Amino acid sequence: MNTYLHVISLEKYLFHGYIKKIHVNGYEGVLNIYPGHSPLLTMVRPSVLRIFTEFEEKKLYVSNGILEVQPNVIYILPDESCFLNELNYNQLIKKRNDIKNRIVHMKHGNQHILQDQLVNLKIKLKIIKKYLILHK
């Protein structure tokens, strides 16, 4: 039985193709989805999405989003996503420090926007750091 996966973020179409299984974190726990899985609609939490195809494993960072499983197709619609190897930990640290500095020096205005960006960046850094430590 073949299952087709679509991973589509707000910015781009990240992955589409036949899969053997996926591993993703939902708010209810870790999900391992195989072909033939029963229909499911759930939320995805920020995590590493592991996609297993016939020939390789792909790893993507996904933020909050939606996972829909149908008999022969799976949709993952994260708010933000990119391939794990595209992320540079040191650049993200620099970006985090820049945002912190901007918040400190902001006299008034949209601090809440920067604070939201900072929270999201901290979550991303935590996930990447944990994943790098566990999978050396």
Per domain, the residue ranges of the chain are 3-84, 87-134
| pLDDT score of 117 | 84
DSSP 34: -
pTM (two decimals): 0.82
| pLDDT score of 136 | 57
| pLDDT score of 133 | 67
Domain 3-84 is classified in which CATH homologous superfamily? Answer: F0F1 ATP synthase delta/epsilon subunit, N-terminal (2.60.15.10)
Q: How far apart are the two ends of the chain, measured CA to CA in Å?
A: 33
Q: 10-residue block means of pLDDT along the chain (136 residues)?
A: 91 95 93 94 94 95 94 95 85 88 79 84 86 67
Rounded distance between C-alpha atoms, residue 33 and residue 17, angstroms: 15
| pLDDT score of 120 | 85
User: What distances in angstroms separate CA 63 from CA 32, 35, 92, one per listed residue?
Assistant: 18, 24, 15
